[in-house]
Every structure is written in C-alpha cells, then in structure tokens.
Amino acid sequence: MAYERTELPRAQIEAQEAVAHRIAARFAAEGRRPLALVDTYGCQQNESDSERIRGYLAEMGCGFTDDEFAADIIVVNTCAVREHAEQRVLGNVGALNHTKKAKPGQIIALCGCMVQQPHMAERVKRSYPIVNLVFGPHELWRFPELLERVLNERRRVFAVAGSEGTVTEGIPRRRDGQVKAWLSVMYGCNNFCTYCVVPYVRGRERSRRPEEILAEARELVAAGYRDITLLGQNVNSYGKDLGSGTDFAELLYRLNDIPGDWVLRFMTSHPKDATEKLFRAMAECEHCAHHLHLPVQAGSDRVLRAMNRGYTAAEYLEKVALARQYMPDLVLTTDIIVGFPGETAEEFEETLRLVETVGYDSMFTFLYSPRVGTVAAGLPDPRPKADKQRSFERLVALATDISSQRHAAYVGRTLEALAESYDASADWPLTARTRNGRLVHCKGGAALVGQFVPVRITGSTSWSLFGETV
C-alpha cells in the first residue's frame, strides 16, 4: 500500500492552542466560564481522544460538568464498530433536544468514528439539526478552530473529509485518572478484516516516533502514574512505517528501562503479527504485564479466511502455546464474533472447541453487526438471527464457566495488585488490578490508591476476584 507517513508540524498545534486561548479570552470578556461535558463511546483510543478534547476545552477556559442541562458545550465522541453503539449515540443525541430547548445557546458537537462515515455525517446533517459541529478523528487536532467557527459564524460546521491520517504530537491533554494512563503508540489500521469499519474511519497505520513515546512514558511515571497501557489497533505492526528499525518488541525493551514501580500493558495484538520476539520481550521486561489480549474472532478456518484474518486456528493455537512457554502465568483474553455471514452451526462449534482448548481468562463476545462499506456486509447471511442468538448465549455460558474456574484457582493465593480507586460506599471499597491484569475488589483503605499492595484472594466470580490487603 503506497502511503507516505505524515506528521503534522508542531506549529500547527501551537496555532490551535492560540485559537483556544483566544476563545478563553473571549469567554472571560463575556464574564463567563462555560461548562463542558465530553461523553465517550467505544474503545480506549476514544477515551484517549476525549482526554485531548478535554485538554483543548481546558485551554479554552472551560470548566467541566456531568450534567447535560448545565453544560454549555457537549461533545459526544462516537463509535462505529457495531450498530448497537451507533444506536445508543443517536438515541442520546436525540434526547439532547430537551437540554437544547432549556438552554438554546448550548453547543452540541459530534466527533469520532461514527461521523467519519459519509452516510452517518449526512444523516446527522439531515435529521439532527440541534448538532452544531461534526468532526471526524482526522480533524480532532483542529477542534479549537472548528469551535471558533461555530461561535463566530453561528452556523453548522461539518469537518469529515476522508483522510489516511497524520501523526499529531503536542495536543494538550487532561487525563481522566492519576494512577492509570493511556499512551497511544500508533493510529489507524491496514488489516481490513472484512467485517470491520475501523480501517475506513481511522485511516492507515502510522506510528509515533519512539522518542515521543518514551518521553511521554517518562513524564507519566515521574507524575506518579503506575499503570501505562500502550494503545494501537494492532500494536504488533508498530514501527513498520517508521523505517527506523524499532519494532514493538524493541519499544517494550526501551520503555522497560524507565525506572520506578510501574506496570506496562498494551492492546491490541493481532495474532498474525504476534511473534516469538514479542513473547520473549514480554517475559524479559519486568515492567511488562503477562497479559495478552489476542482476539481470535472465530475457530473455523473457513470463517477466519472469509474474515481476512491471516491465520488458521492451528496457527493461533501454536502462538498461544509458545506465549505460554515464555510466560507460564500468562493471562489470555480475546474477542469473538458470533454469526459472521455464512458461518454455519458446525463452524460455530469449532469456535466453542477452540475456546475450550485455550481456556481464556476472559472474553469479549459480539454478535456480528453489518457495517456499511465493508466486504462482509455484501456476503449472503442466511442463518436466522434467533439461531445466532442461541449460539451467542452458548458461547457466553462457556466463557463464564471457564473464567469462573480460572478465577477460582486464585483463591487462597496472595498476589501483588495495584490499587486503582477507592469508593467508601462500596462493600469492597478498593478496586485493584493484579500485575497481569485481573480485577480485584478489596477491603482496604483509601491511602493505598496508587500503590502496589499484597492482596490475599478470598473469593472470585467469572469477572473479578475479591480479596483483602495484607
């Protein structure tokens, strides 16, 4: 694929920050401090993007609220991966009619993957007149300029042109937490799995330079963050576009050199690009969690081929075995799609068998959802919905069973876990995560948040563990 990696000059982001400051001055001159609400749907990359939108909003002098009626600016950061996510967004945007009526000056913006699809941008234009501003993921970097246009011109602004995407550095960021942080290492996807909309809305794979990533990670550790998750649609293709020789495994080694008590996670790994070198790096880097999110999607080779996944079930199982050789304590999670067009009842049984063979610690299961413009949306799909639903329920039951068993095996052990948050009103007030990524609800005090503490596991469910700090 001929694609030239482009990095946006820093001066462009500085120009956007200048616009943000001009907006702040204007609000100050009007004697007001507008309140903003950013509502996020979908994946961690969207959560990370929302932190950048909040960063810009803070530079515009905005405060923040959770109350839609109090908000002067509402930004809805949308997802397009399944129809369900889109319906939720559209339902909630429809409900904003009430807030806008109560507060006619309210500015409503939609951004993210859903509106990057031309048919959706068109639908918002036609059917949701309350929406003032629409911008896709490629235009996020110029949010201040777009918002200023809405303020100045008092007309609707749509910035959703298609693009292969750029790498943007230096956008201000207001992080959600103080213990856990997202760190994007690359954007976009080149894989074109036949069911998936991501490559159409997020552009081509492009990596951030390792120096930028290392500098951000060092800053995070110095600021007290203890849990850093590297983000990318397929982190295993990190660096291929850089031509500098740094691949993902090498990036892990370089990050691992940052001293301190902190844990390094990443997602998502595409099985076709997961290598022995990666498993070795995970095993050798002491900061690196032994957790691999390795979406298999299906257990039938025919379906995997139709999905354009680039591996067979046997190849997948070989990689899992190899990863477990390097990391006997590996936590393995996955994503599975039930009801891909043409998947037969027998082919679905192959998924169940694969799931049993692997024994995942936890699984994210999805019913196939046709996406406009993808190859799979044009395939014959004869299996009745009710059949697919029954298969889906069987898979969920199996997944719950396996996770419950795997979690039960932790009971009685003492593990180190990072305390992430505290809620005094909860029976198990402390939420913690083991180094390898299992959620633990704990008894323990608020002062432990941000620390690694030994936790004796006393109970478990299919989703989490329970324990006491010792």
Residues 247-306, interacting with ligand SAH (CB under 6 A): 268, 270, 295, 297
With beta carbons less than 8 A apart as the criterion, state whether 468 and 456 touch.
yes
Q: Which of 270, 356, 284, 281 is nearest to 319 (CA)?
A: 270
Nearer to ligand SAH, 44 or 462 (CB): 44
- Residue 371: which of ligand SF4, ligand SAH, none does it interact with, CB under 5 to 8 A by kind? ligand SAH
Distance CA 429, CA 424 (A): 5
- Residue 368: which of ligand SAH, ligand SF4, none does it interact with, CB under 5 to 8 A by kind? ligand SAH
Decide: is 82 part of the binding site for ligand SF4 (CB under 6 A).
no
The partner residues of 255 in beta bridges, in order of sequence, read none
Residues 311-340, interacting with ligand SAH (CB under 6 A): 335, 337
Q: How many residues does the chain have?
A: 470
Q: Does residue 434 have a cis bond before it (omega within 30 degrees)?
A: no
- Residue 366: which of ligand SF4, ligand SAH, none does it interact with, CB under 5 to 8 A by kind? ligand SAH
DSSP assignment, residue 274? Answer: -
**Residues 19, 171, 198, 217: which binds ligand SAH (CB under 6 A)?**
198
Nearer to ligand SF4, 233 or 351 (CB): 233
Decide: is 193 part of the binding site for ligand SF4 (CB under 6 A).
yes
Distance CA 43, CA 197 (A): 13
Which residues have CB under 8 Å from 456's CB, separation 6+?
A: 412, 413, 414, 467, 468, 469, 470
Instruction: Return the structure tokens found at 457.
Output: 């596991």
Distance CA 189, CA 232 (A): 9
- Distance from chain centroid for Cα 436: 18
Decide: is 183 part of the binding site for ligand SF4 (CB under 6 A).
no
Instruction: Return the structure tokens found at 13.
Output: 């982001």
Q: Considering the complex, what minimum distance in angstroms separates the CB of residue 191 from ligand SF4?
A: 4
**Residues 366, 408, 439, 458: which binds ligand SAH (CB under 6 A)?**
366
- State the chain's maximal CA–CA distance in angstroms: 68
Helix H or strand E segment including 411: none
Decide: is 185 part of the binding site for ligand SF4 (CB under 6 A).
no
Nearer to ligand SAH, 310 or 429 (CB): 310
Q: What three-state secondary structure class fits 291?
A: strand
Site map (CB under 6 A) of ligand SF4, residues 253-292, x = contact = -----------------x----------------------
Task: Using the rule CB under 6 A, give the single segment among 128-136, 282-290, 349-357, 361-369 that binds ligand SAH.
Answer: 361-369
**Residues 147, 196, 201, 251: which binds ligand SAH (CB under 6 A)?**
196
Site map (CB under 6 A) of ligand SAH, residues 218-257, x = contact = ---------------xx-----------------------
With beta carbons less than 8 A apart as the criterion, state whether 220 and 258 touch.
no
Task: Using the rule CB under 6 A, give the single segment among 95-103, 190-198, 315-323, 394-402 that binds ligand SF4.
Answer: 190-198
Q: Considering the complex, what minimum distance in angstroms separates the CB of residue 444 from ligand SF4?
A: 37
Q: Considering the complex, what minimum distance in angstroms separates the CB of residue 119 from ligand SAH?
A: 15
Nearer to ligand SAH, 62 or 196 (CB): 196
- Residue 337: which of ligand SAH, ligand SF4, none does it interact with, CB under 5 to 8 A by kind? ligand SAH
**Residues 173, 180, 371, 435: which binds ligand SAH (CB under 6 A)?**
371
Distance CA 137, CA 64 (A): 22
Site map (CB under 6 A) of ligand SAH, residues 56-85, x = contact = -------------------------xx---
Decide: is 189 part of the binding site for ligand SF4 (CB under 6 A).
yes
Q: Which of 441, 347, 362 is nearest to 396 (CA)?
A: 362
Helix H or strand E segment including 424: none
Q: Considering the complex, what minimum distance in angstroms separates the CB of residue 211 from ligand SF4?
A: 26
Instruction: Return the structure tokens found at 270.
Output: 């595409």
Nearer to ligand SAH, 200 or 262 (CB): 200
- Long-range pairs for 322-330: beta carbons < 8 A, 24 or more residues apart: 322/276, 322/279, 323/274, 323/279, 323/282, 323/292, 323/294, 325/279, 326/276, 326/279, 326/280, 326/282, 326/283, 327/279, 327/282, 327/283, 327/290, 329/290, 329/436, 330/290, 330/291, 330/292, 330/436
How many Cβ atoms sit within 10 Å of the Cβ of residue 272?
17
DSSP assignment, residue 313? Answer: H
Task: Using the rule CB under 6 A, give the single segment among 195-203, 212-220, 279-287, 343-351 that binds ligand SAH.
Answer: 195-203
Q: Which of 260, 304, 188 is nearest to 450 (CA)?
A: 260
Helix H or strand E segment including 450: none
Helix H or strand E segment including 176: none
Residues 217-246, interacting with ligand SF4 (CB under 6 A): 233-234
Distance CA 73, CA 60 (A): 11
Site residues for ligand SF4 per CB under 6 A: 189, 191-193, 196, 198-199, 233-234, 270
Site residues for ligand SAH per CB under 6 A: 81-82, 195-196, 198, 233-234, 268, 270, 295, 297, 335, 337, 366, 368-369, 371
